Amino acid sequence: MMDIYEYKSLEGKNFLKELKERGKAVQGDVTVVVEAILKDISLRGNDAVLEYTRKFDYKGITLDNLRVSEEEIEEALTNSDPDFIKALEKAKNNILMFHEKQKNNSWMDTQDRGIVLGQLIRPLEKVGIYVPGGTATYPSTVLMNAVPAKAAGVNRIVMVTPPGKDGKVNAGILAAASLAGITEIYKVGGAQAIGALAYGTETIPKVDKIVGPGNLYVALAKKAVYGLVDIDMIAGPSEILIVAEEDMDPSYIAADLMSQAEHDVLASSILITTSISLAAKVNIEIERQIKSLSRENIIRESLKNYGGIIISRDIMEAIDISNHLAPEHLELMVKEAFAYLSYVKNAGSIFLGGNSPEPLGDYMAGPNHVLPTSGTARFFSPLSLDDFVKKSGFVHYTKDALFQVKDDIIKLAETEGLTAHANSIKVRF
């Protein structure tokens, strides 16, 4: 059961405040551990990678089996359910179609007096993708990270993922990697994997950018190496916010709220509605459906900690609340969803209408499911093709064109006290 709050009540305001602050987990002790691991990887390379992998994941790791072999990838494909492979293929094609539409071209503009201005767009050369292991595995995340990189033209994609206690990588992850065209995969996880990608070892190459989700150790490691390499974002716990009208189906709403709650006890699932009656029906539906779900205990704790129903005056007020929270996933469960779309200012991904549930975006529709969390949708965007390219401007002036602006440049440079800049112009005339 989720608590129900009137939006402007003291309880409602306190609940919203707790939601805004939930991402501020205590990180001090973890940061110390992560920094020590990263320093060790930078100094000892392969030896440190093997040592940490033996300690945390697989005792039998060696340089000979650190990289996933072609045979292991082929075995994963052969042994996978054919229907699972077909679903992955369909998802890959949808993701590729969506991200290819994001492509921008280099451009050049010719102006008077022989001035030429332009921009070059080039793919990154090497990208590292982190894929979590453990109890939950995410082949869909492999596709969401790798397909845009491939579409951008990235030349080399290096994937890291922790092995199981048997030394194997999850077959679903390997199948997804194969379909995405990734063949360079290393059996290493945690902060040590991020360090290997950031610094490079004798075996694992240093990359230009690291993308992909992970636990707190992975997130803090990515934060620590940012600047040495680029990263996608610092992802926090998952979240969903549903804005619903009174006559929406409560069973749909309950199911969608729990679809995010099952990720993590820190996940946030929020319903904002104008109807107290609908709120009560959703709680009844949660109790009815939850008993058949495999992660019932996680869902219950998540909904207890960071789940709630807020009663708003009208749909516009509900959207205002949503814009304030800037959720990772926003579902507009209203009849005229497109009429309200233009009022949404802050959201990672938006799902319109009762038949566009959030898992559609997680797996199949095409838009990326690597999304800003913890209110960062106010200024961050979902992972996209743009994350895998870099841009350079270029300029060409003739002598005559430079003559027309030389005095202005000299004035600006001397005003800033940069006489060598001014001199660079003066010597040409």
Q: How far apart are CA 378 and CA 102, in angstroms?
A: 21
Q: What is the DSSP string of 208-221?
A: SEEE----HHHHHH
Name the active-site residue from 99, 263, 329, 369.
Answer: 329
Asked if 308 contacts 3 with a C-beta cutoff of 8 angstroms, the reply is yes
Asked if 245 contacts 334 with a C-beta cutoff of 8 angstroms, the reply is yes
Asked if 79 contacts 168 with a C-beta cutoff of 8 angstroms, the reply is no
Q: How far apart are CA 102 and CA 171, in angstroms?
A: 31
Residues linked to residue 46 through DSSP beta bridges, in sequence order: none
Q: For strand 126-130 and strand 156-161, is the pairing parallel, antiparallel, or unpaired? A: parallel
SS3 7: coil
Task: Provide the CATH topology of domain 4-20+236-365.
Answer: Rossmann fold (3.40.50)
> Under CATH, which architecture does the 28-106+122-231 domain have?
3-Layer(aba) Sandwich (3.40)
Active site residue 328: yes
Q: How far apart are CA 253 and CA 258, in angstroms?
A: 9
Q: Where are the domains of the chain?
A: 4-20+236-365, 28-106+122-231, 397-426
Active site residue 72: no
Pick the closest to residue 27 from 193, 234, 230 (CA basis): 234
Amino acid letter, residue 257? L
Q: What are phi and psi of 344, to 5 degrees?
A: -80, 120
Name the active-site residue from 262, 328, 331, 358.
Answer: 328
pLDDT along the chain (429 residues), means of 10: 90 85 66 95 98 96 97 94 97 98 96 96 98 82 97 97 94 96 96 98 98 92 97 91 97 98 93 97 97 96 95 97 96 97 98 97 97 94 97 98 98 98 97
Q: How far apart are CA 73 and CA 176, in angstroms?
A: 10
Q: Which two tokens stand for residue 164?
A: 């199981």
The length of the chain in residues reads: 429
Asked if 24 contacts 317 with a C-beta cutoff of 8 angstroms, the reply is no
Quick one: pLDDT at residue 170?
A: 93
How far CA 339 is from CA of 28, 105, 315, 336, 353, in Å, comes to: 45, 33, 11, 5, 11
Pick the closest to residue 189 from 172, 212, 155 (CA basis): 212
Cβ density class 56-77: b for 16+ within 10 Å, e for less: ebbeebeeeebbbeeebbeebe
Residues linked to residue 352 through DSSP beta bridges, in sequence order: 332
Quick one: pLDDT at residue 234?
A: 87
